Amino acid sequence: MPVWSLTPLLLPLRYVWKISRNASTTKTNLLLRITSHGHTGIGEAAPNVRYGETPELLQEQFEILQANGLAAVATLDELDALLAAHPVSHALGFAIEAALVQWLAACAGQPVWQWLGVPAPAAQVPTAFSLPIMEPGAVAGFLQEQSAARFKLLKIKVNQAGGLELLREVARVLPGHALLVDGNETWTDVDSVLRFLEQAAALPGLHLQLLEQPMPAALAAEYRYLRPRSAVPLIADESVTDTADFAEIARQFHGVNVKLMKAGGFRRGIELLRRTRAHGLLPMLGCMVETTIGIAGALEISALAEVHDLDGFLIVQNESFGLVTEAEGQLALRNQPSHLI
């Protein structure tokens, strides 16, 4: 019978991670492990406060699953039945499914991507690199310290108050560098977004390639108005949940950022990426602040996406699992270290 465990991971960060709605210097994620028949599967849960997830809540939900038969779960059908009876947060759902899939793939002697029935990931996958919100005067030093120019796409977190000045400084230091601006729902109306885009277009050296979730997800009508008027493609993040209406999303956005932590599992994430492409939208694969456990899971299905934003482990100080390497802005999967088997 499989043995399941859940262990908190306190992750000090390399710098203050600030987005439009919060800032932090540490994250608490959770490591999910299943062991049986000489094989181990691991998954990671990164709780998202945007959706009311906390480490404590996920611990409570895991204990409920343990009390209601998790130890007897050894197939995806059995897991689905248990989660239907005892629903959990999406981050925990992904961690459990990821660990189980990894274990099942190991038992079958297959890599995860093959067991899932998706194309093999590329040997090297380019990732965007994210800049948190900071004072404009700190930008040049940050870009130099992080050697950020090696990443072909830089993702700039902004808020409404200081976003333009932050972009001005990035464009000054790295003129012509491709940028993705992520508002994390910071603007409250269409006119403000259009004004920002107009002002940004006038900045010397700025190459704004994509704009991610500028307004709250609830503003569907405003997004429908903005989509044909935006000078750059709009990418949905918070607007896309596991129950998203993609016909409606296609009226609001040009692309979708799918995150396995938000999707709640590999299978749902794969479905979201396929539906994104089927609706003529740009498929993007993103992440939370995660260790290489979570990022390795995303890389397994990375062939389904065209844009990859999988730098979450680069924010973590002294990341210890080493399942993914990065060189010159390219990510590669490594064999699972023996201490995780």
Residue 336, pLDDT score: 56
- The predicted model scores a pTM of 0.95
Q: 80, exposed or middle or buried, with CB in 10 Å at 0-12, 13-18, 19+? A: middle
Residue 64: both structure tokens together: 């409920």
The CA distance from 239 to 43, in Å, is 25
CATH 3.20.20.120 region(s) of the chain? 125-340
Residue 221, CA distances (Å) to 42, 111, 181 in order:
41, 43, 21
**Neighbour tally for 132: CB within 10 Å:** 19
Residue 32: both structure tokens together: 């999910």
CB of 44 within 8 A of CB of 30? yes
CB of 103 within 8 A of CB of 2? yes
Q: What is the pLDDT of residues 71-130, one digit of tens each?
A: 999 999 999 999 999 999 999 999 999 999 999 999 999 999 999 999 999 999 999 999
User: What are the per-10-residue average pLDDT scores of the chain (341 residues)?
Assistant: 94 93 93 94 95 96 98 97 98 98 97 98 98 96 97 96 95 98 95 97 97 97 98 96 89 98 96 97 98 98 98 96 98 69 41
CATH 3.30.390.10 region(s) of the chain? 3-116
Among 261, 288, 263, CA closest to 274: 263
Domain spanning 3-116: which CATH class is it, in words?
alpha beta
Per CATH, which fold does 125-340 belong to? TIM Barrel (3.20.20)
Q: Residue 163 is which amino acid?
A: G
The CA distance from 330 to 150, in Å, is 9
* Residues 83, 84, 86, 92, Cα dihedral to 10°: 30
The CA distance from 172 to 167, in Å, is 8
Residue 341, pLDDT score: 41
